[in-house]
Amino acid sequence: MAIDKSPNANALKQTFDRRMFVLGAVQGGVGLLLAARMGYIAVGENEKYQMEAESNRVNLTLIPPRRGWILDRHGSPLASNRADFRVDIIPDRLDDADREITLLASLLRLDDVAVADLRQRVDEAQGFQAVQVAAGVSLDDYAAVSLRAPELPGVVPQRGYSRYYPTGPAVGHLIGYVGAASREEYEVEPVPLLVTPGFKLGKDGLEKQFEQVLRGQPGARRAEVTARGRVVRDLETREDVQGNSLRLTIDGPLQDYAARRLGLESGSVVVMDCQSGDLLCMSSMPSFDPNSFSEGIGRVEYQMLSQDERVPLRNKVLGGLYPPGSTLKPMAGMALLEAGVDPQETVVCGGGYRLGNRVFRCLGRHGPMTLHTAIAKSCNTYFYSMAHKHGYEIIADMARTLGLGEKYDLPVASQSYGTVPDAAWKLRRFEQEWTNSDSLNSVIGQGYVLANPLQLAVMASCIASGKRIRPRLVLGQGPEPGTFGYDPAHFEIVRQGMWEVVNGAGTAVRSKLPFDDITMGGKTGTAQVRGLSSGARGGAGVPWKYRDHGLFVFFAPVDRPRYAGAVVIEHGVGGSRSAAPVAKDVLTYLFDPQKGMDALHALEASWGGTAQERLASTYAAYASAAAGVRVAPETAMPVTGLRRVDAESRLPASPAEGAEPTEGADRSGGAA
Amino acid sequence: MKAMTLPPFLRHVPWAMLVPLTALVLFGGAVLHSAAGGSMSPYAWSHLIRFAVFLVMAFAISLAPRELVLKGAYPAYGLILLLLVLVEIVGKVGGGSQRWLDLGFIRLQPSELMKPTIVLALAYFYGLLPPGMVGSWRALAGPAVLIGLPVGLVLLQPDLGTGLAITFGGIVVLFLAGLPLWWFLGGAAAAVVAAPLAYFFALHDYQRNRVLTFLDPESDPLGTGYHITQSKIAIGSGGVFGKGFGNGTQSHLDYLPEPHTDFVFATMAEEWGLVGGIFTLLVFGIILAWGRNVSRAAPDRFSRLLAGGMTATIFFYVAINLMMVMGLAPVVGIPLPFMSHGGTSMMTNLICLGTLMMVDRWTRKGSSQGI
């Protein structure tokens, strides 16, 4: 059947040819369709797809900017940056969180607390938010994690900087700390930088207040990446611009000294330059270590801090309100003098003052008292009598003029500014008339009166200099000292009374400065924690939280005032017993660092180390009790060339000695 | 006169098809060289070697005498069908589905061999069928069984792409055999009705996903739509002249899935642009046109249907693959003939070409005898 001959076969051959033609047309048509489609994609939509290929290929990463430094008044960093290697997790991009965290833990040798902590944070994290695994990772560990990157999607090892606070807890409350942006912060400021792993913003204190100043401009890195995120090569990099530095009025070594000198107590120290208003130190202890916060504080550590009855998370300088007690007496004396009271006028103290059928007690039977001796002996009877006679209004006015009850113009997140009560205030607050007993309670700093330690320091500065002093925290900024219309001689009378308190027959003679040529003036105060009427005393015999607060305001040198300040020791029983000795050592350090350090070192030996060391050991003990795990004792912060703001840096042996003006110059200046 | 000096077995070599084909294979080798990150191994060398080996096989096929082919048509079909059953049994026993038989020296995929074999069997069937019976039910019943058995077995594997390819090859032979046109129209109508049913009841989840993704690739750009999207980016970003040999980022940075097999055309288009694409389409056009000419010139019904079916089988590969990479068809695992890396595809396509060359030889012999 080489050739079909039947007509039927011929018809089939024709059908075949027709249909073959149809098939050919279909094939040609499909070919044309494909060519057209390809032309459309490759030419018509070329631009779109080129962009998509480019955005596939190129990965843009922001480089968090280096944060501006926070400097003390001498230009030494209180907060700086340390280059380090870090590892972050982006929870959204994790493939198998369990496996990856286990692998990371073995690569980075994380202990059980850290791993438990990390799991919890990854579980709780918002998807976009980078969760820190570890900062300050060694180069070897960093390399180990980078090498396993293909097995660890969502894990980001990178070079970066971490915030470094050389004196740790000493500046915790003042400077605050930094951390990764929270969801709320991102909603307020929705810029990509905030969710860039490794970027930290100020969370508290000055770090938060000056966020925009300190932040700087992020850099950008363009890299060619594979579909799995492996970087093939870097294309180009724009450097970041470091944030501006912020120079404070704070004296770094003094800040550290005062914080450490507070020791085991819960309290605060404020020292000001009483001629200018510059805040030299605002120490509040116990505190937290902002370094731990910046590295992402562990759950256990945070728990420990928030459960402590001494509230290490509260800045006591600004947030602590106390009845100022007898520390108001110099101010009240000034008000009386201005009201025309003769300083030689005497009031006989028989142990109390009778108002109607109620007796207001004095702490002693002082006999005949003048203004001078009433300040020195802290005689309540004198001030009861005078307040009753001349009215409380003049004292409230003076209190306000000297800075009490005032919210200062300071770059801080919050201030508790307390109360200077008067008739109008009481009517407004309680809808009650002002009574004479209110006057008597208020004049000795009890009752409704409340002040924070900074206000007490401002009051002391005003009395010390005779100028209208308001606090300044940023060097070269803030209010200039003003003048009062008061008689300078009246200030001198009050200052003499305060001299007597420390150097004569007063309540704080044990806290006399160890110098022949420099003397300190001051006034002690004891603030009752439990109501006066309850009859219960707040001495050393009662539980800590019921003990009285100890307060002390001071200035020095008496003959030529330069420094003034306040010390408040919470539940410190009494001002002369707990607060005045701290003021003495702090001033001693200012005038003679060596002498001050000797005193501190002796004390720290009995307390068990510096504040930083104690915090670390407390944490280790707490963690083993709370979480049942052993925390390896943390090695001390590395000593770097930047470490010039600790108290020791002012000693002659300190390597940084030549690098900054020593307080020796201040001493000769102040003592001349 | 020059042709006379050639050795006899080269005298009738269809150079018009073979030269463009070789150019395409070499071009494919270059693309595979780039897909391997600028290296002849592991893809390019083996691609070229396979082409050489299977081309020799194609020449061997082309020498087969007509009587042998006629005699062997049904036994060959039976053998391949048996192998398909065997694959199914081995798969069941082994506790999982598989598509190949390990013969020690080669992993044989019987479903692939079925593509040319079904054409052979059907061509034989219609070659024997008396012309008067073309419109009767017998013209359909036998072929329906011939097609249905292997397709059923292949779908069991499950391998939708190959199943469709076998069906397509078979139907094209039926079409060319002159079966009444309304049967096809009716069948098409039935398919339109059956497609939704098949979608919901017969397809596997992953296959259903692929269809969904094809209909709306942007709905899931990181999931199953990823393949199509990345392929279109590769083709689209190539532009008219491409990014240049070895400069494709989509393939080199792993954005393109399967850059050396199913998506080899996208790999090519990114680096060679529209120009490369047109060249590829042209070569396929030449090969297919040659195949159609062979078919039309064939001396008898059997050879015509055989050649037409083989051409259609090659066409099906090309069309489905290119439509897939350009986002016109769902992702089904069908490689691009002569360019994709893969031995089975190369073998099947060269069996088709070998058969065409064989028919071509028969035609020349017949006509020279006739003269």
Q: Render pLDDT for A531-560 as a digit per residue (tens, 0 to 9).
A: 544 455 666 677 777 888 899 999 989 999
pLDDT at B9: 60
Listed in sequence order, the residues at least 6 apart from B2 whose beta carbon sits closer than 8 Å to its beta carbon are none
Find the closest chain A residue to B273 by CA distance: A42
CA distance A291 to A297: 9
Average of pLDDT values for B91-95? 65
pLDDT at A296: 62
pLDDT at B8: 63
pLDDT at B1: 44
Return the ∠ at Cα A65 (arms to A62 and A66), rounded to 5°: 150
pLDDT at B215: 65
CA distance A638 to A110: 20
Residue A229's pLDDT band (cuts 50, 70, 90):
low
Share of chain A above pLDDT 70, in %: 88
pLDDT in tens, B182-232: 889 998 899 888 888 877 877 777 777 777 766 666 665 556 578 888 899
Which residues of chain A have a CB within 8 Å of the CB of B292?
A: 20, 23-24, 27
Which residue bears the tokens 């490794």? A198
Is the predicted pLDDT of residue A342 greater than 60, yes or no?
A: yes
Average the pLDDT over each of A549-553, B131-135, B243-247 and give the range with the smallest value: B131-135
pLDDT in tens, B154-184: 888 777 788 888 999 999 999 999 888 888 9
Across the interface, whether the CB atoms of B131 and A41 are under 8 A apart is answered no
Across the interface, whether the CB atoms of B134 and A12 are under 8 A apart is answered yes
pLDDT in tens, B64-85: 998 999 999 999 999 999 999 9
Residue A3's pLDDT band (cuts 50, 70, 90):
very low
pLDDT at B213: 66
pLDDT at A631: 46
CA distance A469 to A464: 10
pLDDT at A34: 95
pLDDT at B219: 60
Across the interface, whether the CB atoms of A20 and B253 are under 8 A apart is answered no
Phi and psi at residue A84, to the nearest 5°:
-155, 170
- CA A238 to chain CA centroid, Å, is 33
pLDDT at A537: 61
Q: Is the dihedral angle over the CA atoms A107, A108, A110, A115 positive or is it negative?
A: negative
pLDDT in tens, A52-107: 888 888 877 788 888 999 988 888 888 888 877 888 887 767 778 888 888 888 88
CA distance A101 to A99: 6
* Cβ under 8 Å to B: A residues 37-76: 37-39, 41-43, 45-46, 48-50, 52-54, 56-57
Which residue bears the tokens 């001198």? A492
Which residues of chain B have a CB within 8 Å of the CB of A3?
A: 299-300
Top residue of A19, A32, A92 to mutate, by most chain B CBs within 10 Å, is A19
pLDDT in tens, A114-126: 888 888 888 877 5
Q: What are chain A's domains?
A: 59-145+159-247 (3.90.1310.10), 303-580 (3.40.710.10)
- Answer yes or no: are the C-beta atoms of A174 and A259 closer than 8 Å: no
pLDDT at A668: 36
Select the residue of A23, A42, A224 nearest B236 (Cβ to Cβ): A42
A672 touches B: beta carbon within 8 Å: no
Inter-helix orientation angle A580-591/A593-607, to 10°: 140
Is the predicted pLDDT of residue A626 greater than 90, yes or no?
A: no
pLDDT at A143: 85
Across the interface, whether the CB atoms of A19 and B295 are under 8 A apart is answered no
Strands A482-483 and A467-468: antiparallel
CA distance B54 to chain A (A): 26
CA distance B217 to B210: 9
Is the predicted pLDDT of residue A200 greater than 80, yes or no?
A: yes
CA distance A338 to A231: 77
Which residue bears the tokens 């770059």? A411
Average of pLDDT values for A606-633? 68
pLDDT in tens, A289-312: 888 876 666 666 777 777 777 777
Phi and psi at residue A88, to the nearest 5°:
-120, 165
DSSP B170: H
Top residue of B126, B231, B233 to mutate, by most chain A CBs within 10 Å, is B233
CB pairs under 8 A between A and B: 142
Q: CA nearest A139: which of A111, A159, A110, A162?
A: A159
Average the pLDDT over each of A280-284, A501-505, B90-94 and give the range with the smallest value: B90-94
pLDDT at B285: 95
Residue B104's pLDDT band (cuts 50, 70, 90):
low
Average of pLDDT values for A582-605? 90
